[in-house]
């Protein structure tokens, strides 16, 4: 009995020892992986991002920890955390000049030597650069805002050529009114959208006067006195007075834009190139081939203003897991993972890498074909530009009697404090 009891005790001890060894092995394995923290706004992280992160965790043994903040609070949260040394390993920001807002020399790691940088397309490299260095891993896409138009409605109204000047644009609007339709859906109640009109036209000024953006960004240049922009604003006011935006212009909202364009009561809308896919989801009869696009032709503009690629990922200079971060970016940049990403993100357009095309909307090719060139629009090319604040000034021009020059001076007044003394 005693021997049997001793044997039982020994067997139990051995079993416990094996469990402990297994537990310790698992613990060592867990400790061998690294945790990568990622900060982002709620709307910037999609299901596919989390799916690819889970796939990476399984492959690498590393862990992805998301730090998500509401979109309207994200910038303040990010700035505060970076300032006290608590920033995430990876943090999302807009591409383009917005990179400058976060003191890249102090908070961002130079990613120029990473292999995937060599596979960036030109717009991605430009939009993610600061002082000649690549500061972001970018998998969004280039886009821009132009005049989307309903091809069938243009044909019905007898519009045979795509407008390429202000006069031909007005003539098209008059023909649309003549068939009982509203020429343009514009959400006048949504201030930021009014800002987009002018933000697209700064691209023309930069195209005609290289260095205009650089002057604005080093505070040696101002908006006041820019005749081309003042003329464009005067023409915008003229269009509103002519009824081209309809009777309910100032109560229209952006949230209704898809439904309004799907209703076919409106011929045109200032929007981005992936918008037709959203309309088709509401009205399947309006396929993406139902639409064309051209640059906003105020001041006879023919330049298409684009984004810098949307949202990119920066690496915290103080990260202690840089090797894991680099490994994660390498994983995401693989062609098969990029393909999965863009297949899931039909709201995005061309891919930022040369490996795959991404999603190239028909109207993107159309607007580029109708343009004499492209360049960064104000939101991504000009420091301290805020579409909402600019839109407020334009709205005041419509309802408060201020002038185009008042709008331009107002933009200068808004931007100036950000430059300091």
Q: Distance of CA 199 to CAs 39, 104, 226, Å?
A: 28, 25, 14
Considering the chain, what is the average pLDDT of its residues? Answer: 91
The 10s digit of each residue's pLDDT in 336-364 is: 999 999 999 988 889 999 989 999 999 99
Do residues 187 and 131 make contact, with C-beta atoms less than 8 angstroms apart? no
* Dihedral sign, Cα of residue 225, residue 231, residue 236, residue 242: positive
Q: Dihedral of the CA atoms 207, 412, 231, 190 (nearest 10)?
A: 100
Residue 31, classed as helix, strand or coil, is helix
pLDDT at position 347, please? 83
Quick one: which H or E segment has residue 129?
strand 129-130
In 10 A of CB 120, how many CB atoms? Answer: 21
The 10s digit of each residue's pLDDT in 45-55 is: 999 999 999 99
* Dihedral sign, Cα of residue 338, residue 339, residue 340, residue 344: positive
> Which CATH code for domain 145-306+386-419?
3.40.190.10
pLDDT at position 31, please? 55
Single out the residue of 321, 260, 262 nearest to residue 287, CA to CA: 262
Backbone angles phi, psi at 390, to 5 degrees: -65, -40
The beta strands (E) that lie in 232-376 are given as: 266-272, 291-294, 303-306, 311-315, 373-376
Single out the residue of 182, 102, 146 nearest to residue 307, CA to CA: 146
pLDDT at position 9, please? 40
Which residues, 6 or more positions from 29, have their beta carbon under 8 angstroms from its beta carbon?
A: 61
Token pair for residue 74?
Answer: 């994200």
Single out the residue of 100, 392, 311 nearest to residue 219, CA to CA: 100
The 10s digit of each residue's pLDDT in 129-163 is: 999 999 999 999 999 999 999 999 999 999 999 99
Beta bridge partner(s), residue 41: 69
Quick one: which H or E segment has residue 41?
strand 35-41
Token pair for residue 30?
Answer: 């867990």
In 10 A of CB 48, how many CB atoms? Answer: 15
Topology of domain 35-141+310-344 in CATH is D-Maltodextrin-Binding Protein; domain 2 (3.40.190)
Is pTM, for the whole model, over 0.85?
Answer: no
State which residues of the chain have pLDDT below 70. Answer: 1-31, 421
């Amino acid at each position: 009995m005693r021997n049997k009891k001793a044997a039982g005790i020994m067997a139990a001890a051995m079993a416990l020892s094996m469990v402990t060894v297994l537990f310790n092995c698992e613990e060592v394995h867990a400790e061998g992986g690294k945790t990568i923290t990622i900060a982002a706004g709620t709307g910037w992280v999609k299901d596919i991002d989390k799916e690819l992160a889970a796939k990476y965790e399984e492959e690498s043994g590393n862990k992805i920890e998301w730090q998500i903040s509401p979109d309207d609070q994200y910038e303040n949260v990010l700035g505060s955390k970076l300032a006290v040394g608590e920033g995430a390993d990876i943090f999302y920001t807009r591409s383009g000049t917005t990179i400058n807002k976060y003191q890249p020399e102090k908070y961002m790691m130079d990613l120029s030597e990473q292999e995937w940088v060599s596979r960036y397309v030109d717009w991605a490299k430009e939009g993610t650069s600061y002082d000649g260095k690549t500061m972001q891993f970018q998998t969004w896409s280039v886009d821009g805002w132009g005049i989307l138009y309903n091809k069938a409605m243009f044909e019905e109204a007898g519009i045979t050529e795509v407008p390429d000047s202000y006069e031909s644009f007005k003539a098209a609007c008059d023909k649309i009114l003549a068939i009982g339709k509203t020429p343009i859906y514009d959400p006048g109640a949504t201030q930021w959208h009014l800002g987009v009109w002018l933000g697209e036209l700064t691209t023309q000024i930069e195209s005609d006067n290289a260095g205009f953006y650089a002057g604005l960004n080093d505070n040696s240049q101002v908006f006041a006195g820019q005749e081309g922009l003042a003329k464009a604003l005067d023409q915008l006011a003229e269009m509103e007075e002519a009824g081209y935006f309809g009777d309910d212009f100032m109560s229209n909202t952006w949230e209704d834009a898809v439904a309004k364009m799907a209703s076919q009561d409106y011929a045109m809308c200032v929007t981005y190139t992936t918008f037709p896919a959203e309309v088709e989801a509401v009205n399947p009869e309006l396929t993406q081939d139902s639409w064309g696009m051209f640059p906003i032709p105020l001041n006879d503009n023919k330049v298409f203003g684009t984004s810098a690629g949307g949202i990119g990922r920066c690496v915290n200079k103080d990260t202690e897991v840089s090797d894991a971060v680099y490994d994660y970016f390498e994983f995401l940049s693989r062609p098969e993972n990029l393909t999965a990403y863009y297949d899931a993100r039909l709201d995005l357009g061309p891919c930022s890498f040369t490996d795959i095309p991404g999603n190239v909307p028909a109207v993107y090719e159309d607007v580029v074909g109708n343009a004499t060139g492209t360049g960064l629009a104000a939101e991504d090319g000009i420091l301290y530009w805020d579409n909402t604040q600019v839109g407020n000034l334009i709205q005041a021009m419509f309802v408060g009697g201020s002038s185009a020059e008042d709008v331009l001076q107002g933009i200068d007044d808004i931007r100036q404090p950000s430059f300091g003394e």
